[in-house]
Amino acid sequence: MKANRFLKDMKTLYTIGILSITACMVSCSNEPDGEDLYTATGKTIAEYIEEDPDLSSFVYILNRVGLDKTLSSYGQYTCFAPSNAGIEAYIDSLYDDDKSPIPHNGMIERSLYGLTDSLCNDIAKFHLLGSIRTIADMSGSIGTSINTMLGYAFTASIDEQTGQTTLNNVAHIINADNEATNGYFHKLDKAISRDTRMLPDVLHSIDGYTIFYTALMKTGLNEALKINNKGKIYTLSDQTDTNGADLYSPSECRVGFTIFAESDEVMAKAGINSFDDLVAYANSKYGNAAAWYHYLNEKGLTVNTGTTDADFKKPENALNMFVAYHILKTGMAIDKILFSREAYTSGGYTAYNYWNYNPETCYAEVYDYFETMLPNTLMKVWGGKYGSTGSLYINRWKQYNTLTDEVGTPGSAAMHPMRQTGVKILRDLNKSALNGYIQAIDKMLVYDSNVPNGVLHERMRFETTTFLPEFGNNGLRFISSNEAFILNGSQGSGARIAFPVDYFDNVYCYNGEDTKVRYNVNGAYNAWQANCFQGWGQYDLAIKLPHVPTGIYELRLMYVPMAHGGFMQFYLGTSKNVQEMEILGLPLDVRVPANDERIGLTPADQEDDQGVATDKALRNRGYMRSPMTYRQHPESRDEGTTGNQNMRTTNDGSSWALRKILVTKQFKQSEDYWFRIKNMISDDSELKWQFDYIEFVPVDIVNSTEYSEDWM
């Protein structure tokens, strides 16, 4: 009875609101270790902090909102416990806050007992994680963002003067890595404060960004950055997992943005010393944008270079376009922009979550593509061999980036000269707001002809959780299996999360909840970033694809052959109206093994030419091997398997992921394209659909006679 009451309490607690999850955990287990679940000795986090008289104020806050029960329960948590003096100082700051829309933030008196229940809830959840974070996990000099149970992040960094780990540049960890049976707790000298202002107000408060801030205000784009929630309560009647346990399903949907901003100092280096100078600069860079920004011509628009306040607010105005291209539709801390390359250990051997090889010897480079607020444009962020932990550049351009003059690898350095270094994202700002982040850049950022004609003229691989911004804005893009286990009320597994069918703006389910929308979190999956947007049921859904520069592309879909994979018919159209969609070939029977003669996947690493000849045979049937960039995960491999086990090479050729070639056609930058997946089997509601990543490949890259596409 007690266990059942706990599960009910946990379910109620975690369905109150969005819980945003840290993205860089390296564990791949679906549940906490057995020793954490069934420990006969030792104490819980709650018991440890209750024994410290200097933490009594924080204990009071936890008890007030019932979170003491959470820290007494099984699971894997991290608690940052502020000292009594730290809580007292934070209470004073709340009471004296003259910018709060509610006097004294609603407090009835300047004391611990004057806190409202809402404030207690916010304080408690902002100091708790549904995952493990030791001091070593927070020791990066670049600043590590840590998303909390409240759904908002703080940043951990090293105080250069004291060498202590500091949180949000305010609170210091004074007693670290206290291990309990259900996680860790760290004692703080102060409470972690957070900024509750929207992005425009935070940008205004930062010294040295006056020109960019003025441009943001003049264009009116600041108005679009004043929201942080869709303002809707979401419900899901069936949120069960395959084992019958209830999955976590978010009831709210946050909205966020990332601003890349040039400081006044950076602008001065480009000869821009005033707002008028920036207007002239934007006019010079975007005045002829119709020559490469095809959206303008296709919409019948001309560039506006006017200099009145009314002109600046027009989307086709040069200054407006300049500012809009600096804003992404997803709010991301600098260490969350790209997937981490960090290794994890499972089953006695180490594998890389994302890329297959050790960074010191790896051929592949980490990069991703994001849509900006300049209509239908993309920005590429490059992280090199080290991904999110290395230097990040916007729109770095290497010649023939996804082509090669050798077999398989990216080829000789001579064929990949650096055509454009790109704009470096500086790590010294990473400023958070209630609805996103402001990142500093080292030079002027523009959408010029080099972007569509050079940077983006390559095989573009789009991961679903990147181009659906709801994942990033709600902290679910890189969630680990352990964190999902906590969200799921510590019952069942941590394998997945359930979503209401109307949660995503760019996903449409034609038959309501008959299409189950699920997310397989970071774990043992044959997937691009160890996760997969997936579901099951009598599914019939459409997903709006990311916009690409106008051109003729080969469109490909990644999938994993599986016995419960379904029989899928694909469609494509410029609206989600089914009457306006074209059928893309014959249905795909996902139940057919990859080494079936109808597909013909073979173990490439056992062939003399490393699979070159059989690659051609696969293409003739409409298939391609998966990239060698990432590897099958340890929990999906036979124990002891090591070496070059990547998603291209395989020992049996039966269950590995494939790419299905869907269509070759012209895509226009100005058009929306909806991709529909329909289950053609009407008497089986348990078959699965999946949408891990897609590829847009320019036809001149596909059909190149001088070079071949690399295997990355």
- Give the model confidence (pLDDT) of 116-157 as tens digits: 999 999 999 999 998 888 998 887 545 688 888 887 888 898
Angle, CA 447 vertex, CA 445 and CA 448 arms, to 5°? 110
Average pLDDT estimate for 403-428:
92
What is the distance between the alpha carbons of residues 529 and 627, in angstroms, rounded to a whole number? Answer: 12
Which pLDDT band holds residue 481 (cuts at 50, 70, 90)? confident
Beta 183-188 vs 515-520: how paired, if at all?
unpaired
Residues 6 or more apart in contact with residue 37 via CB below 8 angstroms: 31, 74
Average pLDDT over residues 187-209: 94
Whether 691 shows a pLDDT value over 80: the answer reads yes
Nearest to 663 by CA among 586, 611, 596: 586
Banded pLDDT at 60 (limits 50, 70, 90): very high
CA–CA distance from 40 to each of 34, 35, 398 (Å)?
A: 11, 9, 58
Q: For 238-249, how does the pLDDT look when each residue is reduced to its tens digit (9 = 90+)?
A: 998 887 888 999
Residue 79: the pLDDT is 97
Q: What is the dihedral of CA 45, 46, 47, 52, to 10 degrees?
A: 90
State the Cα–Cα distance between residues 419 and 96, nearest whole angstrom.
Answer: 54
Using alpha carbons, list the distances in angstroms from residue 412 to 399, 408, 422, 710: 12, 11, 21, 12
**H helices then E strands: how many in the chain?**
20, 35
Task: Check residue 140 and give its pLDDT.
Answer: 59
User: Highest-confidence range of 12-21, 31-40, 381-390, 633-642, by mean pLDDT?
Assistant: 381-390
Q: CA 453 → CA 294, 323, 394, 460, 625, distances in Å?
A: 11, 21, 15, 13, 27
pLDDT for residue 696 is more than 80: yes
Going by pLDDT thresholds of 50, 70 and 90, the confidence category of residue 348 is: very low
Residue 645: what pLDDT? 61
Provide, rounded to the nearest whole percent, the portion of the chain with pLDDT above 70: 86
Query: 629-653 pLDDT, tens per residue?
Result: 776 554 444 444 444 467 787 655 5
The pLDDT mean for the chain works out to: 86
Count CA within 13 A, CB hemisphere, residue 136: 4
Q: For residue 20, is pLDDT > 60?
A: no
> What does the DSSP 8-state code read for residue 576?
S
For residue 658, what is the enclosing H or E element? Answer: strand 658-667
Look at residue 604 and give its three-state secondary structure: helix
Give the residue-averaged pLDDT of 18-36: 31
The pLDDT value recorded for residue 709 is 95
* Residue 74, pLDDT score: 82
- Determine the pLDDT at residue 646: 73
Residue 37 has pLDDT above 60, yes or no: no
User: Per mean pLDDT, which range of 89-93, 428-432, 436-440, 627-631 is the poorest?
Assistant: 627-631
At residue 639, the pLDDT reads: 41
Query: Taking Cα atoms as reference points, which of 374, 467, 380 lies closest to residue 419?
Result: 380
Q: Which token pair is 474?
A: 């709600």
**Widest pairwise Cα distance in the chain:** 79
Residues 6+ apart with CB under 8 A from 693: 461, 462, 463, 464, 528, 558
Q: Are 431 and 437 spatial neighbours (Cβ–Cβ below 8 Å)?
A: yes
Cα within 13 Å of Cα(61), Cβ side = 29
Q: In whole angstroms, give the CA distance from residue 587 to residue 571.
A: 10
Q: Report the pLDDT averaged over residues 577-597.
A: 94
Q: Does pLDDT of 18 surpass 50?
A: no
For residue 463, how many other CB atoms are within 10 A of its CB? Answer: 23
Report how far residue 560's alpha carbon sits from residue 590's, in angstroms, rounded to the nearest whole number.
7
pLDDT at 507: 98
pLDDT classification of 341: cutoffs 50, 70, 90: low
Residue 173 corresponds to which tokens in the numbers above? 């960890």
Least confident residue range of 107-121, 141-155, 552-566: 141-155
Angle between helices 84-95 and 56-64 (to 10 degrees): 60
Count other C-beta atoms under 10 Å from residue 598's C-beta.
10
Write 33-37 long-range contacts (CB < 8 A, 24+): 36/74, 36/75, 36/76, 36/181, 36/182, 36/183, 37/74
Residue 623 has pLDDT above 90, yes or no: yes
* pLDDT exceeds 60 at position 352: no
CA nearest 559: which of 695, 682, 468, 663? 695
Neighbours of 638 (CB within 10 A): 9
Q: What is the pLDDT of residues 658-670, one digit of tens each?
A: 999 999 999 999 9
